[in-house]
Chains A and B, each alone.
Chain A
C-alpha cells in the first residue's frame, strides 16, 4: 500500500459549528452525512458550548465562522448564537430555507445592521425547478425554500443559493442562467449562486455510487499542489461529539481530532474519497469571498 499524504493545519481561519448535528427536517437523497428528522448520531450544540469555543477561537485568531447541520434553524438557540458570534467575526449560516420565521429574521437583520461583520446565508436548492429539486430534497421543498429566499430578501439579505451538481458539468452555465431568472421572478434582484460537486458518501453513496478505490489523493498528486485548496488546511468543525477535521467527514471516526481546538491542530491523513473531491474542486465549502486563491 502506498503512503497516505497528510494535510497540516496551517492556520485556523474558519471555525464551523455543527449546531444541529445530523438532525434536519428534510431527508435529501444526496446528503453526505445522511441527515434526517430521526438521525441523531450527532446532536445539538448548546449555546454555552458555542460561547466556550468562541472564546477559545479568539485566542487562536480565527477569521470567520460558519453554522451548519443538519438544519441549523432547528437549534432553538441559533439566533442567540449568531447574535453572539457576529460580535467577534463574520458568520455564514447554511440552511435549507424551509423553516424560517419572520421573528428570527427580524432579530438577525437587527444584529446584522449593528455589527461590522457580514452575516451570510447559504440556501441549498438543487436546481431552478421543482422537477429538478424535489426528487432529491423532498416534495414541495423547492416551493418552501423559495419562500424562504423571498423572506430573506424582504429583510435585505442576499442569500447565496447553493446547488449540488446532479447534472453534467457542461450544463452549469445554462442552469445557472435559468436559476438567475427564476430568482428574479421571486423578488431576488441580484441573485448570488454557487455550484457544489457531489460528495459520494453518506446517502449519496446509496443514491448513486460511492467513490472508486482509485479516487484518492496520492503522494504524487500533492507535489506542487497548493495545500490551502483543502479545507482541512485552515478549518475545523465543532460537533457535540468533539472537534472534527471538516464538516464533510464527521461520519468517519478517524476525522475526530480532539475535544478542544488546541487538540485538533494535528495533521490529517487524506484517506477519504471526499478528500479527492475537495482536492479536485478546491475549498468547496468556502464562500466565494473567502475562497483560498491558488498560489
Chain B
C-alpha cells in the first residue's frame, strides 16, 4: 500500500504560489492535501485563497491569523516583540481584515486547531505552531530532540506536522517518530531565493518492512514578479514586496534565534 500526502504551510494571501503548489502536488501524485493555517497576511487579495481550498477539498487547520481574522480581533497574535515588527504586522492585518469577505471570515472561524488521522497504525497530528499552542514558535535551532519526543508522547502522535515559523525543517525522533515543519507558501525562506516550500509525504506499508514515511520538502517556483506587482497596486508596504522579489526577510526578524537570523541578510 502506498499513498502521497501534501502539506501546505502558511499561505499569507499568496494565492499564486498556492495554485502552483496544488498543481505540483497533484502532478506528483498527492491524493490528499492539507493546509496548516495562516491563510492571510503579507500578500494581496485575501479572498482568492478560499476557492482554492474549497474546490480542492483541502482540509485546513486554523492558524493564529485565521483565528484573529475570523473573529475580527484587534491583531494577528503573531507575538512580535519589536515595535517595528508590530508596525508592519498591523498594516498587513488591517488590509487582510478589510479585504476578507464575511463568509470567508465565518468559514475560518470554524476551522479546527488540529487535524488527526491514522494510516496503517501511524498516528499523524497536524497543527499550526505546536500541538499545545497555536502561536508557539518551534524553531529548529532552539527545540531540543528530548522536547519533541515529549510532545509526541504527550499528544499521542507518531508524526507531528506544524508551520508558523516560515522555515521548513525535520527532526527524526526515536521509535521512528518525526517532527516536521512543512514550511510556508506565503513568502520565501530568507535565503536569497524566491521560491517557497511545501512538504510531500510518501507513506508506504508492506509486510516485511512495516510502515515507512518518506519526507520530501518541495520548492515551488511561481510568478513572484506578478505577486509583487499586485502587492504594489494594493499599496502593501515595500518591505514585504522586497521579500517577495529578493528572498530576504526584511521585517519580523526579532523573533528569530541566532542561527536562523544569521542565515538571512538583515
A interface residues with partner B (beta carbon < 8 Å): 11, 13, 57-64, 88-90, 116-120, 156-158, 173, 190, 192, 194, 228, 287-295
Instruction: Let me know if A120 and B257 touch, CB within 8 A.
Output: yes
Contact of B258 with A116 in the complex, beta carbons under 8 Å: no
Partner of A295, one of B133, B139, B266: B133
Chain B residues with CB below 8 A from A228, complex form: 133
Given A156-B262, A158-B258, the answer on whether A62 and B146 have CB atoms closer than 8 Å is yes
Q: Hey, which chain A residues are within 8 Å of B232, CB to CB? A: none
Q: What are 27 A-B pairs at a CB distance below 8 A? A: A13-B147, A58-B144, A61-B146, A62-B144, A62-B147, A88-B144, A89-B147, A90-B141, A116-B141, A117-B259, A118-B258, A156-B262, A158-B258, A158-B261, A173-B83, A190-B261, A192-B254, A194-B81, A228-B133, A289-B137, A289-B142, A289-B256, A291-B81, A293-B77, A293-B136, A294-B77, A295-B133
- A63 in contact with B135 (CB, 8 Å): no
Could you tell me the distance between the alpha carbons of A194 and B254 in the complex, rounded to whole angstroms?
A: 10
Contact A63 B79 (CB under 8 A): no
Contact A118 B141 (CB under 8 A): yes
**Are A291 and B262 in contact, with the CB atoms below 8 A?**
no
Q: Which residue of A lies closest to B138 (CB)?
A: A63
What chain B residues lie within 8 Å of A60 (beta carbons)? 146, 150
- Return chain A residues, CB-CB under 8 Å to B151: 61
Find the A residue at minimum CB distance from B137.
Answer: A289
Q: Give B64's nearest chain A residue, CB to CB.
A: A293
Q: Are B258 and A63 in contact, with the CB atoms below 8 A?
A: no
Which residue in B135, B253, B254 is a CB contact (below 8 Å) of A293? B135
| Residue of B64, B132, B253, B258 ringed by the most chain A CB atoms within 10 A | B258
Whether B149 is near chain A, meaning CB under 8 Å from some CB there, is yes
Q: How far is the CB of B221 from chain A (nearest CB, A)?
A: 28
B255 at the interface (CB under 8 A from A): yes
Partner of B143, one of A58, A63, A173, A194: A63
A90 with B144: CB separation less than 8 A: yes
With the chains together, A288 CA to B259 CA distance in Å? 14
CB–CB B261/A90 < 8 A: no
Complex Cα distance, B130 from A295, in Å, reads: 12
CB-based contact A90/B257 at 8 Å: yes
Cβ A63 vs Cβ B144 within 8 A: yes
Q: How far is the CA of A89 from the CA of B142 in the complex (A)?
A: 7
- What is the chain A residue whose CB lies nearest that of B139? A289
Within 8 A of A (CB), among B83-104: 83
B140 touches A116 (CB 8 A): yes
Min CB gap B263→A, angstroms: 11
Once bound together, how far apart are the Cα atoms of A194 and B255, in whole Å?
11
In the complex formed, the residue of B with least CB distance to A160 is B258
- Cα distance A292–B255 in the bound complex, in angstroms: 11
Q: Which of B137, B140, B146, B256 has the most CB of A within 10 A?
A: B146
Give Cα distance in the complex from A239 to B81, angstroms. 30
Residue pair A64, B255 in contact (C-beta under 8 Å): no
Chain B residues with a Cβ under 8 A of chain A: 64, 77, 79, 81-83, 129, 132-133, 135-137, 139-147, 149-151, 253-262, 266
Q: Which chain B residues lie closer than 8 Å to A292 at the CB level?
A: 133, 136
- A118 CA / B263 CA spacing, docked (Å): 12
Please tell me if the beta carbons of A64 and B256 are within 8 angstroms of each other in the complex.
no
Separation of A120 and B136 alpha carbons in the complex (Å): 19
Docked Cα-Cα span, A157 to B143, in Å, equals: 19
Q: Is the CB of B149 within 8 A of A61?
A: yes
Could you say which of B81, B141, B149 contacts A288, with CB atoms under 8 Å apart? B81
Is the CB–CB distance between A120 and B143 below 8 Å?
A: no
A194 and B81 CA atoms in complex are apart in Å by 9
List 11 other contacts, CB 8 Å, given A61-B149, A88-B144.
A57-B146, A62-B146, A63-B146, A64-B142, A89-B147, A116-B141, A228-B133, A288-B254, A290-B137, A291-B79, A295-B133
Chain B residues near A295 (CB-CB < 8 A): 133
**Smallest CB-CB separation from B78: which chain A residue?**
A293
Task: State A157–B137 Cα separation when bound (angstroms).
Answer: 22
| Residues of B with C-beta under 8 A to A158 | 258, 261-262
Q: Which residues of B contact A61 (CB under 8 A)?
A: 144, 146-147, 149-151
CB distance from A231 to the nearest CB of B (A): 16
Q: Given A116-B140, A293-B79: A89 and B258 within 8 A (CB)?
A: no
| Complex contact A157–B77 (CB within 8 A) | no
- Bound-state CA distance A91–B257 (Å) is 11
Complex alpha-carbon distance, A90 and B253, angstroms: 18
- CB neighbours (8 Å) of A190 from chain B are 253, 261, 266
What is the CB-to-nearest-CB distance from A187 to chain B, in angstroms, rounded to a whole number? 16
The residue in chain B whose Cβ has the minimal distance to the Cβ of A113 is B259
* Beta-carbon contact of B146 and A58 below 8 Å: yes
Decide: A88 and B257 in contact? CB cutoff 8 A. Answer: no
Contact A88-B254, Cβ < 8 Å, known A118-B141, A158-B262, A293-B133: no
- Bound together, the chains give a CA A117 to CA B140 distance in angstroms of 7
Please name the residue on chain A nearest to B135 by beta carbon.
A293
Q: Are the C-beta atoms of B262 and A289 separated by less than 8 Å?
A: no
Max chain A C-beta neighbours (<10 A), residue from B135, B142, B254, B256: B142
> Which residue on chain B has the smallest CB distance to residue A192?
B254
